[in-house]
Amino acid sequence: MKSFYVTTPIYYANSLPHFGHLYTTVVADCLKRHYGQRGFETCFLTGTDEHGLNIQRTAARLGRTPQEHVDYVVVEGKKFFAAFWLDEAHGGYDIWMRTSEAFHYEGAQEFWRRVAAQPTPKGRESIFKGFYEGWFCAPCGTYKTQDELSKPAGESDPPRCLIHELPVDRVSEESYFFRLSDYDEALLRLYEERPELVVPDARRNEVKSFVRGGLQDISISRLKSSVAWGIPVPGDPDHTIYIWFDALLNYITALGFGSERRRREVGAKVFEKFWPGVHLIGKDILRQHAVLWPAMLLAAGVEQPRAVVAHGMWLDPQGRKVSKTLGNMIDIELVRRHTSADVVRYVLLREKAFWQDGRLGYEIIFDRANSDLASGLGNLVSRTLTMIRRYFDGVVPSPDIPEGRRLAAKRAGVDSDALALSSSLELARDQFVQGVEGYEFNHALEALWAMIARVDKFISDVKPWELAKSEEQRETLGAVLYRSAETIRWLAVLLHPFMPESSLAIARQLGLADELEGSDPSQLKWGGLKQGTRIGEVAPLFPRIDKVKVMAEIEKELAEKEKGEQAGKSRNEQQAAPSGAHATQAAVPGAPTATDVKSAPPVQGATEAQAPPVTNTQAAQTQASAAQPEGVASFITIEDFAKVEMRVGEVLTAERVPKSDKLLRFTVDLGEAEPRQILAGIAEYYEPEKLVGRKVVVVSNLKPRKLRGFESQGMVLAASVGDEGRPVLATFTEDVPNGARLK
RNA sequence: UGCGGGAUAGCUCAGGCGGAAAGAGCAGCGGUCUCAUAAACCGAAGGUCGCGGGUUCAAAUCCCGCUCUCGCAACCA
């Protein structure tokens, strides 16, 4: 039997899942059900990534153990998904994977051993010990990511910890590395040989050009003293396996890779049956899945995935990224309560081209639901069944028009057979199946909706209510209604993976047994609906949404929620908010992450594991600012200040740095023997020519640093204004000699 | 700055190996109908196919240049 294994990323259990995660999961669910209908043996995995510093810290902040915290997130997450028919009970995922499970520890360790036992394609050891270097905050006792650090005040100043407002140290610790750099050629060969490994093409090209640019070895462990919440490195329990080298493995450990325990649990052959699977991911975690993961599998000698499929992201109605700070995230659970799970599922799959980014907002959802579902599908079902009820007493009439009535039928514009309809239905069916196979769900659905329009038109053209007035057209009328009802049956079968509940409701209204799971959509044949079938009770499938009214209600509810959260915040009880730059972000770019509060781009890519995980910066900030006077960093002494040497300088020359859109290169006279070369990232806001001759303030004792190949021997001071941090140069209104020190 | 996309009706997008009067859905306008969830059906309206050149009998479609925009990278001390 053919098998189909589909996975979503496992979501980072730091925070509760949201609408972005829902999207990927709905897609996976839809695929699983579709292939299931077609007779594939299916397995659908989703779950949670439960290790790491983030979770360790969030749990600590909430006064829980990490295990308690992830248990909580899992329970809530399952509830959230269940409301959209994604759980086992509703025929959704088969496995909710959790990386904190014992079998995963075994599998991950086994994988590590296999990698360590094999040399790289270039003949070196795949895992080696080195030193991980990062910013370390002593009071916190941990490494910090860019997101957890304030922008450094001056050149070669260390950044500061956002919690303690203190400079952090550049520290290194022993760490294991995976020699990713040795896999570049093997990977490039793989992309050539198996182009379907990374789809769509645009993403594969992106990946290829990234790999061609050379790969860096990545740190795959942390000292247990830094990150305790994780899987011990085999044979070296002082180290913990780090992030991706743990998380990615879930896709195979869930099936029993490397763990006897798990194989007993799920069946010994499950891995062999399902393994090369399809990974659905958001384009934001493409690197990890299209570079690191294949390299890891090469290293361990495990078969590559069938495909890594990267979808686009949801944006707000204005096309902006969705983020908590902008407050433009949709509360999808709220939408569901005002509509239904199926409506949400349909809109998610219909509204956006899978590969591309798409926009979503409350009104977009309601408009789509009203036009496609209420006016389209729902109305067609309603008018058809109502007529069967009214004219045929609720019994499906015969599809046949007897010889003697064919002329009459012809006069009414009805062919004696349904060939025209049935053949275009077959075409639509094939387009639909092709669309689903190609992840073009919007096209798949469009093909079906073209059929709805066609039948609507057919009904309008032949006017069954007129036919009903003439006994001579009795059979014609029956045939017309049969054709409409049979089309609806097809729709119910085809749409079942998209709208499990509504499609069943349609089937029941048609008087069919609930046999949709077993009906192979690709094998649909005209005439499956039996004459004489007694139809069920007819009720609106998709009640029209009063947009104005519902919007008003939603706004009210959101406002109330906001209030609740404010209250929660002060008690420091709010659910863990921002997620890390991790698998969590699968579907919504920088969703609730502190990352997009400002500047610092999310650390991404195969090198991500080199940076410690992101944590709850917002909460951290809240705490920190509570302890400090508003707007004031922690105090420094006069001695601290004396360390900074600031001098007046005059810009002698200024020019753009080639191949850089932000950097200007200055030579500045500081009253010294030689003018200094200083770089500044203000090219977007200042014309270099206009700066020549200008007096500026320069931090003159910063450690020199190279930027774009030029050494910067100081830093020009500027105010940072507005959200985008527009620089405004500091200057003097009176004349000042070059080199004068600011005290 | 490098690489790769994109720029087509009010909105979201199709088309695009050169050859139809340039399409669809939604919104909007006019009409028909009453089986239906104020639904459906019909009709009209709506576009310099980013800008400028070129190739050709013929260009939204091919070539060159430009502008804007998005993604990835680099970069922002």
Which of the nucleotides lies closest to A367 (Cα–C1')? B26
Nucleotides of B under 7 A from a protein CB: 1-5, 12-14, 25-27, 33-42, 70-77
The answer to whether A456 CB sits below 7 Å from nucleic acid chain B is: yes
User: CA A420: distance to chain centroid?
Assistant: 43
Instruction: Give the containing element (helix H, strand E) for A567.
Output: helix A547-570
Chain A residues 371 to 390 whose Cβ lies within 7 Å of strand B are 371, 373-379, 381-383, 386-387, 390
Residue A616 burial by Cβ neighbours in a 10 Å radius (0-12, 13-18, 19+): buried
List strand residue ranges (DSSP E) for A358-414, in order: 358-359
Quickly give A312 CA vs B5 C1' distance in Å.
14
pTM above 0.80, yes or no: no
Residue closest to B75, CA→C1'?
A660
* Nearest CA among A531, A554, A618, A539 for reference residue A580: A618
The answer to whether A304 CB sits below 7 Å from nucleic acid chain B is: no
Quickly give A492 CA vs B17 C1' distance in Å.
39
Instruction: Give the containing element (helix H, strand E) for A382.
Output: helix A379-392
> Which amino acid, residue A468?
A
Where b means 16+ CB within 10 Å and e means fewer, A652-686 reads eebeebeebeebbbbbbbbeeeebbbbbbbbbebb
Hey, CA dihedral for A620, A625, A627, A632, is it positive or negative?
positive
Alpha-carbon span A616 to A577, nearest angstrom: 7
User: What was the pLDDT predicted at A581?
Assistant: 31
Quickly give A194 CA vs B74 C1' distance in Å.
29
* ipTM entry: 0.91
Q: Are A240 and A227 in contact (CB under 8 A)?
A: yes
DSSP A145-178: -GGGEEPPSSTTPPPEETTT--B-EEEEEEEEEE
**A19-37 and A66-82 helices, crossing angle to 10°:** 60
Residue closest to B36, CA→C1'?
A383
Residue A606 CA: distances (Å) to CA of A287, A293, A300, A714: 6, 9, 17, 32
User: What was the pLDDT predicted at A256?
Assistant: 94
Cα dihedral A623/A625/A627/A632 (nearest 10): 160
Quickly give A446 CA vs B26 C1' distance in Å.
13
**Which segments of A166-323 does DSSP mark as H helices, in order?**
184-193, 201-212, 244-247, 250-253, 260-266, 270-274, 286-287, 293-300
Count of beta carbons in the 10 Å neighbourhood of residue A382: 17
Chain A residues 259 to 298 whose Cβ lies within 7 Å of strand B are 283-284, 287
Q: Are A401 and A414 in contact (CB under 8 A)?
A: yes
What are the 10-residue block averages of pLDDT along chain A, 743 residues in total?
94 88 95 96 96 86 92 95 95 96 96 95 91 65 57 55 62 85 93 90 89 87 85 93 91 95 92 94 91 95 95 86 76 93 95 89 92 95 97 96 94 92 93 92 93 95 94 95 97 96 95 83 93 94 92 88 65 34 32 28 27 31 32 49 78 70 77 79 71 82 64 74 62 80 80
DSSP state of A584: G
Q: Half-sphere exposure of A194 toward its Cβ, with a 13 Å CA cutoff?
A: 13
User: What was the pLDDT predicted at A668?
Assistant: 83
> Which amino acid, residue A443?
H
Quickly give A356 CA vs B12 C1' distance in Å.
12
